[in-house]
Amino acid sequence: MAHSEKTLDSQLIFEGRVIRVTLDKVLLENGNTSSREVVHHHGGACIMPVTDDDEIYMVRQFRYALGEEMWELPAGKLEAGEDPFAAAKRELEEECGLTADEYTSLGVLYPTVGYDSEKIYIWIARGLHATGQHLDPDEFLDVHKVPFEKALAMVEDNTIRDSKTIAGILRYALMRKGQ
């Protein structure tokens, strides 16, 4: 049996630059009603640049909401209606100063399914070419080349805690295993 809920009413609680929050009244399968707080987000695009020597480019940046510096794959938020693949290629060049000859999809990640509509699209980039990094004015990060096996160990020892980065690295590990 497929499960669902029907929206009966939706009230805008907050609208900002990155998110919109609604308080929704829903009809449940059993006929009762309940409320749902929903964070609406345009989503994001993530890219894992892989060198011919099986190193991956990663970034280190401070994340205010968590109050700490994080290891991450290059990524960025989507603008309303923006193509995720175009955004991933944009982030590759903006954050790492790279373009690529070949891209492979690693699928879509839903980071917080209980209350957030965000979807993050993930790609691998190969056949890398240096162009020039051009960060946004409010963006500060360092770029590092990490051997893939070391990045995998960083997932295992909890050095990497970012969900999109973990998903990208583990999906790539499974892909390599199947080759």
Mean pLDDT of 101-121: 97
Residues near 36 by beta carbon (within 8 Å), at least 6 away in sequence: 5, 23, 24, 26, 115
Continuous segment of H or E residues that includes residue 93? helix 84-96
DSSP letters, 127-177, are: EEEE------TT---EEEEEEHHHHHHHHHTTS---HHHHHHHHHHHHHHH
Residues 127-178 have pLDDT tens digits of: 999 999 989 888 899 999 999 999 999 999 999 999 999 999 999 999 998 8
pLDDT bracket for residue 99 (50, 70, 90): very high
Q: What are the distances in angstroms from CA 4 to CA 1, 15, 31, 113? A: 10, 26, 12, 14
Tokens representing 146 are: 């990490």
pLDDT bracket for residue 1 (50, 70, 90): confident
The two beta strands, 33-41 and 19-27, are antiparallel
